[in-house]
Amino acid sequence: MSPTDDTAAADIAPNPPQPALRLHRELSRVWANDRGFWGQITAVSHTTLGLRFMATAFVFFAIGGILSMLIRAQLATHQGAFLDTELYNQIFTMHGSIMMFLFAIPMLEGLGIWLLPKLLGTRDMAFPRLTALGYWCYLFGGLIMLTALLFGVAPRDGWFMYTPLSDATHSPGINADVWLLGVTFVEISAIAAAVEITVTILRQRAPGMKLTEMPLFAWYMLGTSVMMLVGFPPLIAGSVLLEVERAFDWPFFDPLRGGDPLLWQHLFWLFGHPEVYIIFLPAAGAMSTIIPVMCRTPILGYGAIVAAILGLVFLSFGLWVHHMFTVGIPHMALAFFSAASVLVAVPTAVQVFAWIGTMWKGRPELHLPMLHILGFFLTFVMGGLTGVMLAIVPFNWQAHDTAFVTAHLHYVLIGGFVFPMMAAATYWMPLITGKARVNGLGEAAFWVILLGFHGTFFIMHLTGLLGMPRRIDVYPDNPEWVGLNLTSSIFGFVLTIGFAMFALDLILQACLGKRARRDPWQAPTLDWAMLVPAPNYNFAALPLLRHQNMPARDAIQALARGEGALAGAPRARREVLVTSVTNARPCHVALLPGNTALPLVLSASIGVFVLLMLGSLYVLAALALVPVAVLVWVWVRGMAPMGDLHPVAVAPELRLPVHHHARSPTLAQSGLQALLVADGALFASLLFGVGFLSVVTQGPPAPPPLAGGGGVGLALASIVCALALAAASARLARGAAAAAATASPLWPWAGVVCNLVALVLLAWVAFQLDDPRIHARDALRAAMAGYVGLHILVAAAMAAFAADQFRRGEIAVATGGGAIPAWANWQMFTAVTTGITVAVFMVQAGVT
């Protein structure tokens, strides 16, 4: 079969059976981690890193839980002297920051990284080194924040960091900088995971697993990753702008100089409300996977659930002002966002009814995972109802910033995320540890958690309705508040005991449990069609359509004997199958990198930059970016073609090229496209800032823009022309590389020259602009110039890398064009964003 034939995956013949033990040993040698401590440093396996994400997130959850106990101890009495105000504010801020940024997001990332390849029928994520980089950035960013807490310089302005409370005047010292830089460092992990998950779902499904037939968990994670790509950049943009304001006095949020504190709230909640659904969707995906198994029946309403997922993804970005009803926005906007906030309950209700219908249709078995799911129903539905209450503007005005909102938030997050995650943990623990549960303790832990949670947070609805504000460390001796707070604090400690019992149950299962049998739940999904515990390679042969349509217990033996696609590891390298987006038609074979310490070294280099920024050593911080750039170059150099690049026998009648020779888009090209979605959202956030301040600001008028006059205008036009020529060079180079006989380094070098000319002109323009410390408009213009300059510099580096590949002869070998397609995409994006930036500059000049 020719690799270009559009043949249905159902026609792919399976490989002949082979000895299962030989295949297992062969694959284990290729996919195994290195031994000892060094093996933990260099591991890039999705199984190892997914578990590491989840274990680290659980540790942070425990730390956040301890901080919550300190908060409840302080609030148990009305004049609590347990903590002073400064320490209480640090603990309050760190509790929220840990739970949102260091627990919830990394936990869902870890579950997706660990589980998706097993459900999709592949051996690893699309970019193993990127997974490792994301983990180390997450760990180092979290440790920076925890270390600041130990030394008493933790952030203290709330996990939302509202301006002007968090600016340099009202929050001196490095406390706020720890949050801004630490969270931005952690967000590298989130964006990396989003790119990874998106590409893996779209390009690495088992042959024949159509997009419309893949497991629901994959749909949930695809929606989550898209929301992360679009929702996280506004927070990154806001954090960078606020850090620049604190460090260099650029007045983005200073109303006396044309800024506006509400700009921070808009950027933060453009992330913050989609964040709720980013957390909820993976948990809902776990429930959509577990409920049919526990009820012995297929999920009800697959298509309706997929539609609900897409509806949630779309609607979640129209809700951010839900958190800003009291800031004085126009009544028309209040009505719109109130309606949108009520409307989002519809797709959520569709999923809840589908789950209830599945249980009604089936025969529910009250195993421990099912108990936690029932806890979800009881808790999350109550949180959803209070959310609808808060969506009504008059009620929101009364309840805003009271304990009622705190209670609602915890009902949604713990009900909608923690209970499903506990169900997921107890469901997949046999696959993780190879051990069966020790009965008794887990059930007791569930009831203690359920009692402790509702005892803690249901009462907080009442204190909120009685007028008690949130974010306070002491409160008046109001009789109606004191007793309720004391009761809530007591139940808070009960809740903590329940979580400790849950953790102990998992530890006992891992250490003392009996050996688990394969597929203990008799599940229909591919995640159980493998050895227990799951090996690093997952499948000895990738499941074909016939294996995907049979119960896991029937597919285990066939796949273990290699009766699928791409059986074993006969070439002693890590190979995965890349398929088309919609129909999962086999396209080519991707060769994944092996174990390496490069992600750790690169993340440590980024960490040095962050620490130097915290120390206000800005010159040294700029120099610290040099090793980061060098390591990125080394990283990409490791993707160059080497060794045997002949077509691979995937099945008896199917041979596919390796990705260096592929004419279809490679995983790297798909990954860059996903990254450019996030990059575009970041640029849109800057444009939002320009538009918002242009319309809303009541500060003093800005000085005349573009002080250089006509020379600046000519330079801006020349920048656009130079980048247009660079984009044309990239397209010509891409076309030349497709015909290897005519390939030449001329076009990449032309791209280098054009980009450098544009960069020099942009630097000259930057020196002509007004001082960005004078007015917010000037500061935003400088920020956009910096954004464009960074992209031009990267484009020049990518063109130089492509020219270097020509010099090494790698383009001639790789008919896929090496780095040229990636450079072409980046160059076009840079040209477009630069053109928009220049247009903004010129419009501002014309208006003034």
Q: Which two tokens stand for residue 800?
A: 């130089």
Which region among 277-291, 552-566, 637-651 has the lowest average model confidence (pLDDT)? 637-651
pLDDT digits (tens, 9 = 90+) for 116-127: 999 999 999 999
Q: What is the distance between the alpha carbons of residues 311 and 302, in angstroms, rounded to a whole number?
A: 14
The pLDDT value given to residue 701 = 64
pLDDT digits (tens, 9 = 90+) for 155-184: 999 999 999 999 999 999 999 999 999 999
pLDDT digits (tens, 9 = 90+) for 228-256: 999 999 999 999 999 999 999 999 999 98
Average pLDDT over residues 558-580: 94
Average pLDDT over residues 697-717: 69
Sign of the dihedral defined by the CA atoms of residues 78, 84, 86, 87, in that order: negative
Model confidence band, residue 81 (pLDDT cutoffs 50, 70, 90): confident
Average pLDDT over residues 340-354: 93
Q: CA dist 158 to 63, 166, 783, Å? A: 17, 9, 26
- The whole-chain average pLDDT of the chain stands at 92
3-state secondary structure 775-832: CHHHHHHHHHHHHHHHHHHHHHHHHHHHHHHHHHCHHHHCCCCCCHHHHHHHHHHHHH
The pLDDT value given to residue 331 = 87
Q: Three-state SS for 525?
A: coil
Average pLDDT over residues 707-723: 83
Which region among 3-7, 105-109, 322-326, 622-626 has the lowest average model confidence (pLDDT)? 3-7
Q: What is the distance between the alpha carbons of residues 831 and 847, in angstroms, rounded to a whole number?
A: 24
Q: What is the distance between the alpha carbons of residues 237 and 786, in angstroms, rounded to a whole number?
A: 12
The pLDDT value given to residue 746 = 86
**Contact between residue 692 and residue 329 where contact means Cβ atoms under 8 Å apart:** no
The pLDDT value given to residue 619 = 95
The pLDDT value given to residue 743 = 57
Residue type, 76: A
Burial of 303 (0-12, 13-18, 19+ CB in 10 A): exposed
pLDDT digits (tens, 9 = 90+) for 800-813: 999 988 888 777 65
The pLDDT value given to residue 702 = 59
**Contact between residue 188 and residue 194 where contact means Cβ atoms under 8 Å apart:** no
Average pLDDT over residues 403-414: 95
Q: Would you give the end-to-end CA distance of the chain in angstroms?
A: 66
Query: How is the chain split among helix, strand and coil, in percent rounded to 5?
Result: 70, 5, 25
Model confidence band, residue 700 (pLDDT cutoffs 50, 70, 90): low
Whose CA is closest to 435, among 555, 534, 345, 338? 534
**Dihedrals phi, psi of 656, to nearest 5 degrees:** -125, 150
- Within 10 Å of residue 695's Cβ, how many Cβ atoms? 8
The pLDDT value given to residue 833 = 97
Residues 6+ apart with CB under 8 A from 10: 208, 545, 546
Q: Which helix (H) or strand (E) holds 757?
A: helix 746-768
Q: What is the distance between the alpha carbons of residues 430 and 439, in angstroms, rounded to a whole number?
A: 13
How much of the chain exceeds pLDDT 90, in percent? 81
The pLDDT value given to residue 5 = 41
Chain CA centroid to CA 232, Å: 8
Q: What is the distance between the alpha carbons of residues 730 and 796, in angstroms, rounded to a whole number?
A: 11
The pLDDT value given to residue 848 = 42
Task: Give the predicted TM-score (pTM) of the model.
Answer: 0.95
Residue type, 240: V
Q: Which two tokens stand for residue 710?
A: 């006509």
Q: What is the distance between the alpha carbons of residues 15 and 481, in angstroms, rounded to a whole number?
A: 70
Q: Which helix (H) or strand (E) holds 381?
A: helix 368-391
pLDDT digits (tens, 9 = 90+) for 40-75: 999 999 999 999 999 999 999 999 999 999 999 999
Burial of 328 (0-12, 13-18, 19+ CB in 10 A): exposed
Residues 6+ apart with CB under 8 A from 253: 163, 164, 167, 241, 242, 245, 259, 260, 261, 263, 264, 776
Model confidence band, residue 653 (pLDDT cutoffs 50, 70, 90): confident
pLDDT at 560 over 70: yes
3-state secondary structure 318-346: HCHHHHCCCCCCCHHHHHHHHHHHHHCHH
The pLDDT value given to residue 698 = 60
pLDDT at 661 over 50: yes
Chain CA centroid to CA 242, Å: 22
pLDDT digits (tens, 9 = 90+) for 513-558: 999 989 899 999 999 999 999 999 999 999 999 999 888 888 999 9
Model confidence band, residue 789 (pLDDT cutoffs 50, 70, 90): very high
- Within 10 Å of residue 742's Cβ, how many Cβ atoms? 9
Q: Which residue has the higher pLDDT, 711 or 418?
A: 418
Where would I find the H helices in 12-80?
20-31, 36-42, 46-75
pLDDT at 814 over 70: no
Q: What is the distance between the alpha carbons of residues 810 and 328, in angstroms, rounded to a whole number?
A: 60
